Structure 1
Amino acid sequence: MQLSRPARRALLVVHVAVSVSWLGLTAGLLALSLTGFTTGSPETAAVAYRAMKIFADWLIVPVALLSLVSGLVLSLGTHWGLIRHRWVAVKFWLTVLTTGLSVFALRPGIDHLAAQAAAGHPAPDVNLLVAPAVATAAYLFMTAISVLKPWGPTQRGRRLRAAQSAAARERHGRPDRVSASGG
């Protein structure tokens, strides 16, 4: 089933906006984590880690899930399909992976770091410096493949395209091949 043009365009705006927001959110988390990790001031580190917790508590999960769901609906409701093109499949699985890591690793790590900061002894954690850096790189990569649409169709995509071409030729009365006798 294909989405109507207005529905597709509205969903595309939502998907792009929320995905770019996810990229910005991780860049902000990276800046705060870098600040907490490199500062010599325990007070500055504590403030940075508490700010990260606010982002983690209120934004990470909804933004990640909305990006995943809107991308999934777009892929299933447009000609791109979920597994018709390699770039869509790669982007989908990277989104599933980064959503899971955000929910089950990044957010709990930020909660732990913020609890330490609230207790008066913020202890910088290199994992919470690496995680937003890797996430930011992943989202930049996903943005690039969304724009560039590299690679070709998947095996399934090629089969569907061939079947659609054959059906179109049949509808228009054009045979697939010319016989050996010339007709």
Structure 2
Amino acid sequence: MIVTKDEMSNAAIGLIREHGYENVNIPMICQKCGVTKGSFYHHFRSKDDLITYWLSHKIDTTVEFPADLGQSPKERFLKLLHEHALVIQSIGCDIFYHAMVADMNNQGTNLLRTAENTQKELDLLSEAIEAGEITGEKSARDLLGCYIMTVLGAIMEWKMAQGTTDIVENLDNLAQLIFR
């Protein structure tokens, strides 16, 4: 019997990968996990809440902040963005897209938790700007905000292309364009 929040969300993602997001419902998740609806609702408010929790947890536990191994702040920052792109690719366009939509329905309650790492990203980006590696008139916060909006657009395009585009290459190219 699966009882933890993480085990339940992982099992649900397996069902979603197998049947598609729209075809999986809470009773199916409960049956797969061997739990009651009450147990499900103890951990999650909805299927949307579950998928955004899973994505947030996946990003938090997979992406490591790059250590300073003689690389410049800009190199470390771009490496961090590349790691995020690899995680997005590994999740797949369908699940990532549905998690984004679900998060918007939840007013960003789970994915924005990953914003805890945003301060580290802003600090590293600020270092790169102060070192003259990234130039321009925009602040680190403005540049990162622009990049995040661009990522959302790239993910939408990836979904519309049914995952046939190279999301990692596209995101790496966008990062190079924005963080010059």
Scaled by the length of structure 2, what TM-score is found? 0.27
Scaled by the length of structure 1, what TM-score is found? 0.27
The structure showing larger relative contact order (alpha-carbon pairs under 8 Å, at least 6 residues apart) is 1
Larger radius of gyration: 1
